[in-house]
Chains A and B, each alone.
Chain A
């Protein structure tokens, strides 16, 4: 299948293999590449997850990074992970006819779950260019036809769920959805709309969760996300904690 040169008006560079689509995208900032770009690879040899974790990158899935030069003022940049999450949710629904929307949920801050198993992940990495403007690489890993074996969170792929969608089709849907959601976000001026869309698709809202921070784990009720996207956790003693970064796990009923 030939690869697209553009999706939703944004140029696409598609490679057979890269170390990491995010790393490649960030290395292009300040060079002759356009500031708005998709970098896609059939395979990543050093795919990245949060805090230096690897991302298993077998061929057949989508590994794509949207590079955005100057997406918003620096303080609004973290909101992009919610823009990306909502766009990814839109995109998977758009290319999976008949998939009930309720089966597809977002886990804070931006993992996409299908039937409570991890279908896709997003890693946003930002830098500041010498002019002082931010640039971000929004990396998407979507399990189209393979998924990693059970790690600490169960994973799934679309093919295994009876939804055959190839990486090129997924990229076309994701590109269109991303431009729509980014326009809605409007450089952070309308994060309220993205936050509302995210909450409407949230996994575990109102239920008991466990949040693993650097060196400890907190239990509580997942109440909401606040105006900047932080997770609001109500502790068993009634205190509210605002969490900016951590790994969320559901607490199974009775477990």
Chain B
């Protein structure tokens, strides 16, 4: 898998989209270029607070466009990645996922695989519980300490 060291934001592009937003009166504009998706949207209070202006958000194209970015790293049930790599839901492509939301898990049960180089690392559950949220897609690059899933 691949990642760019940094997602660079083109300020000109954001300004241009903001102008377009003003001119057209649209609520939001989203474009995708070179794997980066840029969405420029007005605040919900559009019209009553002209000073607020458009808000810009930039994120990788793989991210779910609608999901709010929540920080799960401090969640008490979080399982974080022990290494930089690529997360897989199953041990082989097209295989049955090791867990789903709602799966009852025991301590030590493998829930995901993180591949780094050609090292396949089974990621075990640190506790017994139910998988409440899965925060990574199959094949998604993950960083050291990145939240992978929530067990409650």
- In the assembled complex, B5 has its CB within 8 A of some CB on chain A: yes
A77-B83, A78-B85, A218-B2 known; A245 vs B117 contact (CB < 8 Å): yes
- Within 8 Å by CB of A75, from B82, B88, B91, lies B82
Judge whether A123 and B120 touch: CB under 8 Å: yes
Contacts of B116 in A (CB 8 A): 77-78, 229, 244-245
Against A, the Cβ 8 Å flags (1 = close, 0 = not) of B60-83 are: 000000000000000000000011
- In the assembled complex, A146 has its CB within 8 A of some CB on chain B: no
- In the assembled complex, B27 has its CB within 8 A of some CB on chain A: no
Within 8 A of B (CB), among A219-255: 228-230, 239-246
User: Shortest distance in angstroms between A87's beta carbon and chain B's nearest beta carbon?
Assistant: 15
Within 8 A of A (CB), among B1-50: 1-5
- In the assembled complex, A190 has its CB within 8 A of some CB on chain B: no
Task: List the B residue with the shortest CB-CB distance to A229.
Answer: B117
Interface core residue of A128, A132, A230, A245 (most chain B CB under 10 Å): A245
Judge whether A128 and B124 touch: CB under 8 Å: yes
Against A, the Cβ 8 Å flags (1 = close, 0 = not) of B102-135 are: 0000011010000111111111101000000000
A52-B93, A75-B83, A75-B144 known; A241 vs B2 contact (CB < 8 Å): yes
What's the Cα separation between A136 and B121 when bound, in Å?
Answer: 8
Contacts of B83 in A (CB 8 A): 74-75, 77-78
What's the Cα separation between A80 and B84 when bound, in Å?
Answer: 14
What's the Cα separation between A245 and B115 when bound, in Å?
Answer: 7
**Cβ contacts A to B, 7 pairs, < 8 Å:** A52-B95, A74-B83, A75-B83, A77-B119, A126-B121, A130-B107, A241-B2
What's the Cα separation between A245 and B122 when bound, in Å?
Answer: 16
Closest 3 CB pairs of A and B: A52-B92, A78-B116, A74-B82
- In the assembled complex, A110 has its CB within 8 A of some CB on chain B: yes
Q: Is the interface of A mostly helix, strand, loop or mixed?
A: mixed
Judge whether B5 and A81 touch: CB under 8 Å: no
Task: List the B residue with the shortest CB-CB distance to A79.
Answer: B117
- In the assembled complex, A102 has its CB within 8 A of some CB on chain B: no
Measured CB to CB, the residues of A under 8 A from B are: 50-52, 74-75, 77-82, 109-110, 122-128, 130, 132, 134, 136, 213-215, 218, 228-230, 239-246
- Within 8 Å by CB of A242, from B2, B85, B117, lies B2
User: Shortest distance in angstroms between A79's beta carbon and chain B's nearest beta carbon?
Assistant: 8
Interface core residue of B88, B110, B116, B123 (most chain A CB under 10 Å): B116
What's the Cα separation between A134 and B82 when bound, in Å?
Answer: 10
What's the Cα separation between A132 and B120 when bound, in Å?
Answer: 17
A213-B2, A244-B84 known; A52 vs B91 contact (CB < 8 Å): yes
A127-B124, A213-B1 known; A228 vs B84 contact (CB < 8 Å): yes
What's the Cα separation between A241 and B123 when bound, in Å?
Answer: 26
